[in-house]
């Protein structure tokens, strides 16, 4: 009987590994709305029950909240309305959002998880297909990883296993991290029988050659399976053990900057400790995890990226610790990481190891206690930068050039309290007036301040827009169509509400249910909050019409002011009549709006 893995038929003698979670490992197009609608129709209690012990009392279903520690249940599931609410920690959302929050998954992975649990097909928008044949590639990755693990512990892999054990890794650790070895002349026939040729070559594991047929890209290499946060193998890295090899490491097809090695193992420890260690290499991460630092991930030789930071932020990390080499390459990595960290509004610590050492080499030859002492030397990355810049100023002229560089860094800090703190530290280090430095840094933030002022001016319209969208969510499809008639998306100042309104118009044109937007990856959280928001009114139609008229009037006022400024600044007397005609048209439109309001 043929075996099937991820829906792919494999050869008879292939031993299927034990998988419990099947998730996608590549960037995919938008999930079909019909899939989200089907999930919306599921009973939210069925989605949550496997994760929370729920008790039903009449119409009420409750349990202990999984998002905070409690002894008395304050977590309620509203089956009729399709959402959950905790009155202890204020967690709230629909079924998809529960899975996202509870399992720390992004929107796509949460959808994939629910589809798997309820045996639903995961489909994409009409006319679009995944950028990569994900199902086949995932199955190939798992088959290849299993083959490499088997080879490592067979006679043919004795040399590779000896190499790893000589480096101080036990067989248990090797198995825990799924390391393998690819024989120099690996038999490709089993893979060719199970997968189409294009899948084999597209994976980056195999390549077609003119004279030798299909050749393995990782032949005679230690194999590191690279898994995403949900445990799906998305790629490989192979380390040469032959000193004559052309490259120490080779990688299959994936973006290193969008993945973190060992995240699937480390995520629970990161979440529990609210901290993480970030190292460079695969062996560094394995060594640290084995030594008792399970919250360790590796950036795989790249600079720290926005995507990697975004993944770590999901786990509510409060302390980021970058462990770097103490050489020039380590300093360069620190500078790159600092700039990305500032953009992402995180403030990591930096830990420098002795020159020539990395976590793998240091822990191999030193006790954990010695490494703990090094960890205690961690420095706030920005304070370290201030200290280094001050130390490089050999005279007053150079010192002020160094201070100029620090000012530019300080101006990029988004959090005002942190900015004040670092300004105080910099002023003390450079022995300058804190008030003067503060004023100088704020001058560098003029554009940011101007943008914030414009946003503040839009706050009044923001309230009207929020109320209008909220009322729409309580109306029938027909009433919604009538209410949005004649109202364009540019009437909305707030970017989020403008996007929501655009989606409402699109859904309404397709006769869709606008409440299904609570499952939308872009606006779902906002929609859920609006659905749960209570306004003290019984006539939603009248309230919505009032808001619509205010939106029209506010837009007319904005256009009138804009036109008046144009007239004032242009000095274009030839077109003055045309300008005034536009003003009269705006006023005429506004009077009609007022009459509708009355």
DSSP string, 486-549: T--GGG--SHHHHHHHHHHHHHHHTT--GGGGGG-TTTHHHHHHHHH---S-S-HHHHHHHHHH
Confidence band of 343 (pLDDT split at 50, 70, 90): confident
Sequence-separated (6 or more) residues with CB below 8 Å from residue 112? 22, 23, 24, 122
Please give the Cα distance from 267 to 315 (Å, whole number): 7
Query: pTM (2 decimals)?
Result: 0.62
Percent of the chain with pLDDT over 70: 82
The residue written with tokens 């290193």 in the block is: 256
Say whether pLDDT at 363 is over 60.
Answer: yes
Please give the Cα distance from 398 to 94 (Å, whole number): 58
DSSP string, 98-125: HHHHHHT--HHHHHHHHHHHTT----BS
Using DSSP's 3-state secondary structure scheme, residue 77 falls into strand
Percent of the chain with pLDDT over 90: 33
| 517 or 170, which is more confident | 170
Residue-wise pLDDT for 520-548, tens only, equals 777 887 887 777 665 656 677 888 888 88
Confidence band of 570 (pLDDT split at 50, 70, 90): low
Quote the pLDDT of residue 6: 38
- The mean pLDDT of 124-148, rounded to a whole number, is 77
Helices and strands counted in the chain (H then E): 26, 18
Residue-wise pLDDT for 167-208, tens only, equals 999 999 999 999 999 999 899 999 999 999 988 988 889 988
Quote the pLDDT of residue 536: 58
Rg (CA), the chain: 30
Quote the pLDDT of residue 126: 56
Of 149, 191, 200, the closest CA to residue 9 belongs to: 191
Of 144, 148, 220, the closest CA to residue 180 belongs to: 148
Q: Which of 121-130, 180-189, 290-299 has the lowest mean pLDDT?
A: 121-130
Q: Nearest 10 degrees: CA dihedral of 87, 93, 97, 98?
A: 40
Quote the pLDDT of residue 349: 94
Quote the pLDDT of residue 25: 36
| 154 or 560, which is more confident | 154
- DSSP annotation of 303 reads P
Q: Which of 125-139, 173-187, 223-237, 475-489 has the lowest mean pLDDT?
A: 125-139
Mean of pLDDT over the chain? 81
Are the beta carbons of 352 and 376 closer than 8 angstroms?
A: no
Q: At CA 480, angle to CA 475 and CA 486, rounded to 5?
A: 150
| 262 or 16, which is more confident | 262
Say whether pLDDT at 493 is over 50.
Answer: yes
Quote the pLDDT of residue 13: 39
Please give the Cα distance from 240 to 150 (Å, whole number): 18
Residue-wise pLDDT for 101-123, tens only, equals 888 887 878 888 888 788 787 77
Say whether pLDDT at 231 is over 80.
Answer: yes
Quote the pLDDT of residue 47: 92
- The mean pLDDT of 134-150, rounded to a whole number, is 90
Residue-wise pLDDT for 420-437, tens only, equals 999 999 999 988 899 999
Most confident of 4-18, 489-503, 534-548: 489-503
Beta partners for 238?
223, 250
Using DSSP's 3-state secondary structure scheme, residue 30 falls into coil
Confidence band of 209 (pLDDT split at 50, 70, 90): confident
Confidence band of 17 (pLDDT split at 50, 70, 90): very low
Alpha helices in 245-393 (DSSP H): 263-273, 282-290, 306-313, 328-343, 359-365, 368-375, 381-391
Confidence band of 22 (pLDDT split at 50, 70, 90): very low
Say whether pLDDT at 585 is over 70.
Answer: no
| 573 or 472, which is more confident | 472
Quote the pLDDT of residue 561: 73
Sequence-separated (6 or more) residues with CB below 8 Å from residue 114? 39, 42, 47, 95, 96, 99, 120
Say whether pLDDT at 513 is over 70.
Answer: yes
């Amino acid at each position: 009987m043929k075996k099937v893995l991820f829906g792919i038929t494999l050869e008879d003698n292939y031993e299927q590994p034990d998988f419990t979670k099947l998730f996608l490992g590549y960037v995919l197009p938008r999930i079909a709305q019909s899939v989200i609608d089907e999930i919306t129709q599921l009973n939210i209690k069925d989605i949550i029950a496997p994760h929370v012990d729920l008790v039903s009392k009449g119409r009420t279903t409750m349990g202990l909240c999984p998002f905070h520690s409690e002894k008395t249940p304050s977590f309620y599931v509203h089956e009729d309305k399709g959402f959950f609410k905790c009155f202890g920690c204020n967690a709230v959302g629909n079924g998809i959002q529960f899975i996202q929050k509870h399992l720390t998954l992004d929107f796509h992975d949460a959808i994939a998880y629910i589809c798997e649990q309820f045996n639903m097909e995961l489909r994409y928008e009409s006319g679009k297909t995944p950028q990569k044949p994900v199902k086949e590639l995932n199955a190939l990755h798992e088959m290849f990883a299993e083959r490499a693990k088997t080879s490592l512990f067979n006679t043919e892999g004795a040399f590779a296993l000896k190499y790893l054990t000589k480096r101080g890794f036990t067989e248990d650790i090797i198995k825990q991290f799924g390391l393998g070895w690819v024989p120099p002349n690996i038999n490709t026939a089993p893979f060719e029988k199970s997968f189409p040729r294009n899948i084999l070559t597209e994976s980056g594991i195999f390549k077609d050659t003119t004279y030798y047929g299909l050749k393995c890209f990782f032949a005679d290499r230690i194999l590191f399976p690279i898994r995403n946060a949900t445990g799906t193998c998305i790629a490989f890295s192979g380390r040469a053990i032959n000193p004559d090899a052309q490259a120490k490491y080779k990688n299959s097809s994936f973006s290193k900057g969008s993945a973190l090695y060992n995240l699937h193992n480390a995520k629970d420890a990161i979440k529990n400790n609210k901290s993480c260690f970030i190292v460079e290499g695969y062996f560094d991460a394995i060594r640290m995890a084995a030594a008792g630092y399970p919250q360790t991930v590796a950036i795989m030789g790249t600079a720290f990226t926005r995507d990697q930071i975004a993944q770590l932020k999901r786990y509510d990390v409060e302390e980021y610790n970058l462990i770097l080499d103490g050489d020039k390459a380590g300093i360069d990595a620190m500078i790159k990481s600092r700039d990305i960290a500032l953009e992402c509004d995180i403030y990591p610590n930096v830990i420098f190891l002795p020159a020539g050492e990395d976590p793998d080499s240091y822990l191999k030859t030193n006790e954990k206690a010695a490494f703990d002492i090094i960890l205690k030397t961690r420095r706030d990355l920005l304070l370290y930068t201030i200290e280094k810049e001050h130390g490089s100023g050999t005279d007053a002229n150079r010192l002020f050039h160094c201070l100029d560089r620090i000012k530019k860094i300080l101006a990029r800090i988004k959090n005002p309290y942190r900015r004040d703190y670092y300004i105080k530290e910099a002023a003390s280090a450079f022995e300058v007036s804190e008030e003067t430095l503060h004023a100088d840094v704020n001058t560098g933030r003029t554009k940011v301040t101007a943008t914030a002022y414009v946003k503040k001016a839009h706050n009044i319209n923001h309230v009207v827009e929020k109320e209008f969208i909220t009322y729409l969510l309580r109306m029938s499809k027909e009433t919604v169509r009538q209410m949005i008639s004649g109202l364009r998306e540019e009437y909305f100042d707030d970017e989020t509400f403008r996007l929501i309104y655009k989606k409402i118009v699109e859904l309404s044109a397709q006769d869709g249910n606008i409440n299904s937007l609570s499952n939308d990856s872009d606006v779902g959280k906002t929609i859920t909050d609006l659905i749960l928001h209570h306004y003290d009114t019984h006539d939603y139609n009248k309230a919505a019409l009032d808001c619509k008229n205010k939106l029209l009037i506010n837009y007319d006022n904005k256009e009138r002011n804009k036109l008046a400024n144009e007239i004032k600044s242009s000095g274009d007397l030839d077109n003055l009549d045309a300008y005034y005609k536009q003003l009269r048209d705006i006023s005429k439109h506004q009077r009609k709006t007022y009459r509708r309001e009355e």
